[in-house]
C-alpha cells in the first residue's frame, strides 16, 4: 500500500487548513521539541489508541519519517487515510518553523 508523503512546507499549509498532526515519538523526544498543537501517541500505542485520533485529515510526524511511516501503514490497515511528514521534526526545525518544548 502506497502512503502519501508531504513536505514540511505542505504540512504548514495543511495545519492552517485544520489537519490533525499526530506525533508518534517517545515522550522524552516530544519534550525536547514538537510542532505546536500536536496530538501525541507513541508509536507502540497507536494500534490501541486509534480511537483517540479525530476523523478527517491526518498527518503523522516523528523524528525523521520512519516511525511515522509505520503509523501511517497501521492507519491504512485500519481503513483510515494518513499522510507521512517526510523528514519529520528534524526537517520542520531545519525549515525554521516554530516548535514548543517542556
The set of catalytic residues is: 62
12 three-state secondary structure: helix
| DSSP annotation of 54 | P
By the 8 A CB rule, do 50 and 77 touch?
A: no
| DSSP annotation of 68 | H
* Burial category of 5 from C-beta neighbours within 10 Å (exposed 0-12, middle 13-18, buried 19 and up): middle
Amino acid at each position: 500500500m502506497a502512503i502519501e508523503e508531504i513536505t514540511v512546507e505542505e504540512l504548514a499549509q495543511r495545519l492552517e487548513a485544520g489537519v490533525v498532526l499526530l506525533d508518534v515519538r517517545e515522550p522524552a523526544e516530544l519534550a525536547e521539541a514538537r510542532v505546536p498543537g500536536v496530538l501525541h501517541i507513541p508509536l507502540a500505542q497507536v494500534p490501541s489508541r486509534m480511537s483517540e485520533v479525530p476523523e478527517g485529515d491526518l498527518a503523522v510526524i516523528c523524528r525523521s519519517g520512519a516511525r511515522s511511516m509505520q503509523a501511517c501503514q497501521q492507519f491504512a490497515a485500519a481503513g483510515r487515510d494518513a499522510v507521512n511528514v517526510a523528514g519529520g521534526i528534524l526537517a520542520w526545525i531545519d525549515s525554521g518553523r516554530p516548535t514548543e518544548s517542556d
